[in-house]
Structure 1
């Protein structure tokens, strides 16, 4: 026999389904996480200078195809950044130079062992920051999950519009001990978990501030040392990422600047002819 159809009270939709979907899972959890999260540590001015120099070069490259800068201004700025990247002007730790002012690259056959994170205060601080962020993410989730489990245990919220196999029954019908119910019906606690893992990226996109650089999202804020270190190389499992090597970043950016100069085009080129053609002058 076919399973009997269920009719849900509209108040369940208005007072349980919508708050769990929009408020509890998305907006409330986002702002509770921001309140519990600690204030980001201010980076030293030399570290910010390294990151902003790289960001400045990327912005210059991204607008080279139709640049608002005149050819003389673009060439001067590109030459200044290229010289600074070549000589290491923006590095917080200045490299060693010879008598002619060139950077001396020291090569050694003995591999340098990675620093011990337990003896490095900066590494220990990074590990503690990661643990605090994980705890901050867990506390709101447990509070909201307990609130839903206490007040709405056994509630049926929604019916999925597509058929599913019996293997999804334990995942979609938590707190409901009814073996004959259609698999497409979703309980309150299961709906919370579906929204928690399925809409997390969407709420992060809508509620988080946009990055400053679309070319490299790791340079969106000055507090991105750990993110930049991932670009330099993968860290061993269970250990903090290594500090970023900005000298390698600057060498790569120097090559990118040379390539972008070939694609440079001034936005004001031929503007007189375009105005005459548009207005018939």
Structure 2
């Protein structure tokens, strides 16, 4: 045996039983627990008023009409009448939740910071993030306080020296084999490696995914989209009017010469008499 060869390490089985397994089990249970806490904290979406639903459905109706314009099942006269009716209603603001604008007043989007619905979404998002961040901070402090400097496990596959700083956090041993994993590094490996297990038991859209905590600020929430400006339906209706006009030029009735198509399909089309 060479004199310069590094000495082999032998782990006490009690480290496996009282450090490795407890850290893994605690992280699994905390992830499952916080998933169900987030589910309980999520409030059901507030119901839109009748005028708000009507506003959204009018826009959706126009979009469906445009999407089927190139091969529309609606006869030409009915399609044109429906398209003109929607265009005129959008112009007059008949479908706006707050009613048609008065005179030349230009409607502006509601300020997100003064909208009660948006503020509720922001508060719910912050509560969710606290539930997601605080347990991880407590677990990291627990590991640092009780198990700092512990070597827990040796990976069964070879690794390059570049992984040493990632796998041996809180351990200053330059000659140690890179495959040995410290307690703090085992925490980070579980932080990202347990997501597949959570997806298996809790589904793909679960709240136990810890990797999101590393990329999101404490005040970034799943409902962060509500921080943006609400939709201005006055501008949306104006753009939809232009789109309806373009769609009229691309209109084609699916029933055009339907009788000829059916006869041709079954070989019953009579020859032309010139």
Compute the TM-score of the two structures, normalised by the length of structure 1. Answer: 0.55
* Gap change, CA 1:160 and 1:130, over 3 Å in 2: farther
2:52 alignment counterpart:
47
1:68 alignment counterpart:
73
Structure 1: gaps spanning 5 or more residues: 5-11, 98-103, 209-225, 230-239
1:215-234 aligned within 5 A: none
The answer to whether the Cα contact below 8 Å between 2:89 and 2:95 also exists between their aligned partners in 1 is: yes
1:83-94 aligned within 5 A: 83-94=88-99
1:48-197 aligned within 5 A: 48-96=53-101, 104-106=103-105, 117=113, 120=114, 122-123=115-116, 126-140=118-132, 142-143=134-135, 165-166=162-163, 169-170=165-166, 180-182=176-178, 188-194=186-192
> Which residue of the other structure, out of 235, 240, 253, is the alignment partner of 1:253?
240
| Alpha-carbon distance, 1:35 to partner | 2.7
Between the aligned partners of 2:177 and 2:250, the Cα distance in structure 1 is 63
Cα RMSD for the two superposed structures:
5.4
Deviations 1:200-221 (A, max 9, x none): 9xxxx9549xxxxxxxxxxxxx
* Gap change, CA 1:53 and 1:140, over 3 Å in 2: same
1:12-23 aligned within 5 A: none
The answer to whether the Cα contact below 8 Å between 2:71 and 2:251 also exists between their aligned partners in 1 is: yes
| Alpha-carbon distance, 1:42 to partner | 1.9
The answer to whether the Cα contact below 8 Å between 1:32 and 1:140 also exists between their aligned partners in 2 is: no
Structure 2: gaps spanning 5 or more residues: 9-19, 207-223, 269-274
| Alpha-carbon distance, 1:242 to partner | 4.1
The answer to whether the Cα contact below 8 Å between 1:57 and 1:257 also exists between their aligned partners in 2 is: yes
Between the aligned partners of 1:60 and 1:40, the Cα distance in structure 2 is 28
The answer to whether the Cα contact below 8 Å between 2:90 and 2:237 also exists between their aligned partners in 1 is: yes
For residue 55 of structure 1, give the secondary structure of its aligned residue in structure 2. Answer: helix
| Alpha-carbon distance, 1:28 to partner | 7.8
The alignment covers a number of residue pairs equal to: 229
